[in-house]
Structure formats: structure tokens, C-alpha cells
Structure 1
Amino acid sequence: MEFINPSNAPKAVGPYSIAVKSNGFVFVSGQLPIVVETGELIKGDIKRATEVIIKNMENILKEAGSSLDKLVKVNVYIRDMSKFSEFNEIYEKLLNGHKPARAVVEVSNLPKDSDIEIEAVAEV
């Protein structure tokens, strides 16, 4: 087992690793839309928030020896399901035709009062 904590991704907001590589997979913890360079949390713009999360996730996967096209399962937690189509538009564009298994769940609250959080599992 290897703990992945890349410098080009947001730091964990609690006692956990950003990702764990084990048995041919990388398990990416829930990612908030935090701009690495500034520490800014993107709020009120689900498209930009999704874009930031997927960019950060791409960096995490790369550090672990994987990539977005090796995603197997994605779980999305969103505070407002009426934003689903906006989220989906950016998600589909950035995954460039790759379609891992996925769940999207509306939740009442997220860490740091975020609008969205995404976690994933990918092959290495």
C-alpha cells in the first residue's frame, strides 16, 4: 500500500490521505473544488468547480501512475441536483468519452460548505 499526497493537488482537510494505491488500483479521496495555486474554494459556479476538481484529480492520478481514462468508479456528491446538467456537461467533456461507473447523489452539506465533492477509483 502506498499513500499518495502530490504537491500539485489540494491538501487533505482532515486525517486522511489524498489517495491510496493498493492492489493495482488507486482510491482517490473526495476532492473539493480548491484551486491549488491560491487555496480558493470555487463556490456558486458548478461548471468551474467540476473543472477544478477533475484537473486536481488528474494530477493525483498521474502521481499514482494512473490517468482519467483508467477511472473505474466515480461518486459525486452535489448540493443542488438542479445543477446536474451543468455538472454533466463539463464532466463528459473532460473525461473525453471515457464512461466509468458512476453515482451522483444530492446531499445537504459538504466539507467547507462546498457545492460539490468527487471521489474515484482508477486502475493503475
Structure 2
Amino acid sequence: MTSTVTRINPPTMAKPGGHYSHVSVANGFVFVSGQLPIKPDGTKLVDASFEEQAAQVLANVRAALEAAGSSVAQLVQVRVYVASLDDWPAFNAVYALWAAEARPARAVVPTGPLHFGFRVEVEAVGVVAA
């Protein structure tokens, strides 16, 4: 059985900063690459508050999901990387508003410094909306 993989870099997101796609879709699953707090115009929110960084990261995840025909409600799993566990309560508050009724499986991974000095990164797996 052959499976087709579709790779998507939505025009509503900044261009990928490396050799990857923002989204890969295969067998009905949507894989969102790790998203950083970068606005669609490429502005890096390094000096923004943690809450602003988290909100932008989650907006990027939403944009990636929607470009692949999915949504936050169709999330299966979310992995959150935080530079400091001290930021976890703030992330959880922003995430709860963003995810609303969706409660996908989730993990938090404390990492120490992240790329560009960002404080949060999120990757996700969902399914294509039926």
C-alpha cells in the first residue's frame, strides 16, 4: 500500500527557517512541525512576554492545522517545549483558552534555552477533519 505525503507551508505563516515544512499530511494525520513565536511577516518575538510568545506559537499551530484541513478540535497530541518550568502555569492558562473543549494528549518538555532565545515551542499531531 502506497501512501502520499503532502507537505504544506501556508502563506499565512512565516517561511520555514530551515529545511522542513510547517505541516506534513499522511494517512489522515496532520503533523505540525515545532512552532516558534514568529509572526507571519517573519518578526521574531524574542523580547515579548512569555504570554505573547505562547499566544503566537499557538496561533501558528492553528494556522498550520487549518491549512491542512484540520483544526484545534482535531488535535490528537501536543508536545510543548519550555525553556523554564517556571513558565508552565502561564502556558497552561493561555493553552486552556486556545484549546477550549479540545483536550488532546499533551506533554511538557523542559529544555533550557531554545533557538533564538525563545521561551516556548509547540509541535502537534492532529487528524484531517471529516
Give your verdict on TM over 0.5: yes
Aligned residues with identical type, % of pairs: 37
Partner of residue 25, structure 1: 29
Q: Which residues in structure 2 correspond to 1:46-57 (within 5 Å)?
A: 46-57=50-61
Which deviates more, 37-46 or 88-97? Answer: 37-46
Partner of residue 64, structure 2: 60
**Rounded Cα–Cα distance in structure 2 between residues aligned with 1:7 and 1:76:** 24
**Rounded Cα–Cα distance in structure 2 between residues aligned with 1:85 and 1:123:** 27
Q: Provide Cα deviations, 1:1-59, integer angstroms capped at 9, x if missing partner.
A: 10010011122111111110000011000000111135232445121111111111111
The runs of 5 or more residues in structure 2 that have no matched partner are none
**Could you tell me which amino acid in structure 1 is paired with residue 18 of structure 2?**
G
1:113 paired with 2:126, answer no
**Rounded Cα–Cα distance in structure 1 between residues aligned with 2:40 and 2:83:** 22
TM-score by length of 2: 0.90
Partner of residue 102, structure 1: 106
TM-score by length of 1: 0.94
| Bigger Cα Rg | 2
Which deviates more, 4-13 or 73-82? Answer: 4-13
Q: CA RMSD in A?
A: 1.2
Partner of residue 81, structure 2: 77
Report the CA distance between 1:96 and its aligned residue: 0.8
Q: Provide Cα deviations, 1:43-93, integer angstroms capped at 9, x if missing partner.
A: 451211111111111111111000011010000000010111111000001
Write out the 4+ residue segments of structure 1 that deviate beyond 4 Å after TM superposition: none
Check the 8 A contact 1:74/1:100 in 2, yes or no: yes
The runs of 5 or more residues in structure 1 that have no matched partner are none
Q: Give the number of aligned pairs.
A: 124
Is the alpha carbon distance of 1:75 and 1:43 closer, same or farther for their aligned partners in structure 2, counting shifts above 3 Å? farther
